Amino acid sequence: MNRTPSSAAPDGARAAAPGAGQDGGALSHGLKQRHLSMIALGGVIGAGLFVGSREGIAAAGPSIVLAYAVSGALVMLIMRMLGEMSAARPSSGSFSVHAERSIGPWAGFTAGWMFTALLCVAVSVEALGAADVLHQWFPATQPWMWVLLIMVVFTGTNLTAVSNFGEFEFWFAALKVAAIVAFLILGILAIFGLLPGSSAPGTSHLTGDGGFLPKGMDGLMVGLLASVFAYGGLETVTIAAAESKDPVRGVARAVRTAMWRIALFYVGSMAVIVTVIPWSAPSIAKSGPYVAVLDYLKIPAAGQIMNVVILIALLSAVNANIYGASRMAYSLISRGQGPSFFGKVSGGVPRRAVLLCVAFGFLAVLFSFLWPTTVFQWLLNMVGAAVLVVWGFIAAAQLRTRRQLEREAPEKLVVKMWAFPFLTWVALAGIALVLVLMLRDDSQRIQLLFTGGFGVVLTVIGLVRQRALATGTR
């Protein structure tokens, strides 16, 4: 007879301090409130925004603003649900622990290891991207040299006290926020014709060249897909909060400010771009939308300025992804969901889990050099839709966790999901819609199928382990 979620799993109902007993270890609490605030603020500003948005603009035209607004609304719902659970039960395992408690050990296993794999592959992708930027600046060097240096440096920061990770992310985030705020200010001044030598563009770029929907609803849907995946990684702040002195306050603040951060940085910058310059401008595809706008405004050395910002965003992602992957892996291992050898904590840091995740990242980098179109592409496809799977588990877990908290500990509902359960079901429907759109899109279908296959494998393993544990404890 299988155990119920409330009594299942080694982690199950064990109560202890956030980031420690709940996950069966002894993580430190070295992250300060300023670290969490800046991680939450800068975490939404990634290379996907600076670089990946060009594909969305090419597909959707001016309606990319609507695409980012719709996908941003979905992400806000997901973060609100995750914030509700994380504020009530802080844990370095975040949504994996919530899924395990409310659905079953198999769900925590599947969501946790899929997210870990996603971040490990992302580490390699971001490191390769950063190496490309550095190679452009120093053409006499080889990209692999920069990849090695980047991986070694950020492995070092994650092997030491967690406060070092927090300090790196604090300054990375501060620089990213400063850059995007400066871009928005320049763009708004240009829109109103307040910059020297500029004239107000009005709505000509929004309504001309095919109108607001130049490629119809199909273009909007492609833009929606492009925008959804730009938001991946916001979940890390709820993982980091477990290693702060006041995780409940940290999570609550991060979640409550998510709305204006998404609206300002993503939707706001897209609106500036397609208002200031034509969406079909060749410079967007060639240099990227942000460089194209800065060049149009005659900002000196615009390309190099944005390359610096992009490099910072990539390095920040490497640092944060190593951290997030190692903490999720540690949480899973300490709950009996992985090899116990990697679960040891020393100096408040799960160093073996860090090395495990970095080793996977190094392996992925090696694959990118040896088999870029086969093995490495398979890895990319395998985690291509992983964030949607994770979001699905978050929504499903919140439906059950909220009812349990209302019955057993209503005082822990410091952050509440809006219009529960209606908006939770709206979020699940939104996730399902994105999956359907991926299935219809030839370029995205392969990722969905690979990720689905990976998810099935993890689910089967999780169910077999859950069954074995249940049988062994009769």
**In this predicted structure, what is the pLDDT of residue 473?**
52
User: Domain coordinates of the chain in residue numbers?
Assistant: 29-472
| All residues at 6 or more sequence positions from 75 whose CB lies less than 8 Å from its CB, including other chains | 228, 231, 234, 258, 262
Structural tokens at position 211? 């109108």
449 Rama sector, left if φ>0, alpha if ψ -120 to 50, beta otherwise: alpha
- pLDDT, one tens digit per residue, over 248-269 is 887 888 777 777 878 888 899 9
Question: Helix (H, G, I), strand (E, B), or coil: what is residue 244?
Answer: strand
- In the three-class reduction of DSSP (H, G, I as helix; E, B as strand; rest coil), residue 346 is classed as strand
* pLDDT confidence band for 13 (50 / 70 / 90): very low
52: CB partners within 8 A, 6+ apart: 226, 229, 230
Ordered DSSP codes for 306-344: HHHHHHHHHHHHHHHHHHHHHHHHHHHHHTTSS-GGGG-
Higher model confidence: residue 223 or residue 41? 223
pLDDT at residue 245 in the model? 80
Distance CA 68, CA 230 (A): 9
Three-state DSSP at 31 gives strand
Residues ≥6 apart with Cβ < 8 Å to 355: 155, 159
Alpha-carbon torsion, ordered 239, 245, 247, 248, to 10 deg: 180
Average pLDDT over residues 423-451: 92
Place of tokens 């946790």: 112
- The sign of the torsion formed by the CA atoms of 406, 409, 411, 416 equals negative
Q: Identify the CA nearest to 292 among candidates 58, 15, 44, 45.
A: 58
Decide which of 232 and 291 is more confident.
Answer: 291
- Rounded to two decimals, the pTM is 0.89
Alpha carbon distance 442, 414 (integer Å): 43
> What digits encode the pLDDT tens for the residues 181-190?
999 999 999 9
**Residue whose tokens read 């592409």:** 377
Please determine, for residue 173, whether its predicted confidence score (pLDDT) is greater than 90. Answer: no
359 C-beta neighbours (distance < 10 Å), count: 12
Beta carbons of 322 and 314 less than 8 angstroms apart: no
Quote the CA–CA distance of 152 and 174 in Å, as a whole number.
23
- Does the pLDDT at position 20 exceed 70? no
Phi then psi dihedrals of residue 101, to 5 deg: -65, -40
**Residue 39: closest CA among 227, 330, 257, 245:** 257
Residues 37-60 have a mean pLDDT of 78
| 31 φ/ψ angles, rounded to the nearest 5 degrees | -85, 130
* Contact yes or no for 153/341 (Cβ under 8 A): no
* Percentage of the chain lying above the pLDDT 70 cut: 93
Listed range (337-341, 404-408, 451-455) with the worst mean pLDDT = 337-341
Architecture of the domain made up of 29-472:
Up-down Bundle (1.20)
| Inter-CA distances, 278 with 6, 100, 127, 449, Å | 56, 48, 32, 36
DSSP state of 3: P
Confidence tier at 472 by pLDDT (50, 70, 90): low
User: For the chain, what is the radius of gyration of the CA atoms?
Assistant: 22
pLDDT at 32: 80
**Residue keyed to tokens 């370095």:** 92
- Please check the confidence at residue 6 and state whether its pLDDT lies above 60: no
Tell me: the pLDDT tens digits for 70-106?
Answer: 999 999 999 999 999 998 988 888 899 999 999 999 9
Instruction: Quote the CA–CA distance of 83 and 258 in Å, as a whole number.
Output: 10
Q: Are 225 and 388 in contact (CB under 8 A)?
A: no
Report the C-alpha gap between 408 and 237 in whole angstroms.
26
Q: What is the residue-averaged pLDDT of the chain? A: 86
Average pLDDT over residues 35-63: 80
Which residues, in sequence order, are CB contacts of 225 under 8 Å at separation 6+?
Answer: 434, 437, 438, 441, 444
Higher confidence at residue 112 or residue 381? Answer: 112
Whether residue 3 has pLDDT greater than 50 = no
Residue 275, pLDDT score = 94
What's the DSSP call for residue 264?
I
Supply the pLDDT for residue 23.
42
- Structure confidence by residue, pLDDT tens digits, 337-373: 988 889 888 888 899 999 999 999 989 999 998 888 8
pLDDT at 150 over 60: yes
For residues 196 and 141, the model is more confident at 141
320 burial type by CB count under 10 A (0-12 exposed, 13-18 middle, 19+ buried): buried
